[in-house]
Amino acid sequence: DADVTQTPRNRITKTGKRIMLECSQTKGHDRMYWYRQDPGLGLRLIYYSFDVKDINKGEISDGYSVSRQAQAKFSLSLESAIPNQTALYFCATSDLTSNNEQFFGPGTRLTVL
C-alpha cells in the first residue's frame, strides 16, 4: 500500500463549486504539506501543518483552506473554485527524522471549468 494517498486522483468541477481534496498517510509523520504544480512554475506551497493543532499559510493560500483532522489526515478545500485553480495538487509529509526529505502522494488533477 502507498504511504501517502490522495483522493480523488482526478476531478472536473465547475466555477463556484466547493471542492475537497483529501490526503492520508501511514508514515507516522507529524508534518504535512499541500502544493500545487503548474507548468513552468514548479511546485508552490499552499498550506502546511506541523501537528494536529498547527496550521500555517504557504506562499499561495488565497482561495484555499485546510483541515488537519488527525495526524494522518490533511484535507485541502476550495470554497468556491475558479478556473485558475486548475492544476495538479500534491500532498507531502515529513518529520524531524527525515532530515527535511518530503514524501509525496501521487497527486490530484483538478480541472475547474
Partner 1 sequence: GNSVTQMEGPVTLSEEAFLTINCTYTATGYPSLFWYVQYPGEGLQLLLKATKADDKGSNKGFEATYRKETTSFHLEKGSVQVSDSAVYFCALSDHLGAGGTSYGKLTFGQGTILTVHP
Q: Hey, is 16 helix, strand or coil?
A: coil
Ranges within 13-32 binding partner 1 (CB under 8 A): 31
**Pick from 19, 23, 34, 48: which binds partner 1 (CB under 8 A)?**
48
Q: How deeply is 69 buried, as exposed, middle or buried, from its count of CB atoms within 10 A (0-12, 13-18, 19+)?
A: exposed
Q: Is 42 an interacting residue with respect to partner 1 (CB under 8 A)?
A: yes
Q: Which of 85, 94, 110, 112 is in the footprint of partner 1 by CB under 8 A?
A: 94
Q: Is 10 in the site for partner 1 (CB under 8 A)?
A: no
Sign of the torsion formed by the C-alpha atoms of 15, 23, 67 and 89: negative
CA distances (Å), 57 to each of 45, 46, 89, in order?
Answer: 8, 6, 16
Task: Report if residue 64 touches partner 1, rule: CB under 8 A.
Answer: no
Q: Give the footprint of partner 1 on this chain (CB under 8 A).
A: 4, 31, 33, 40-45, 48, 50, 58, 90, 92, 94, 99-107
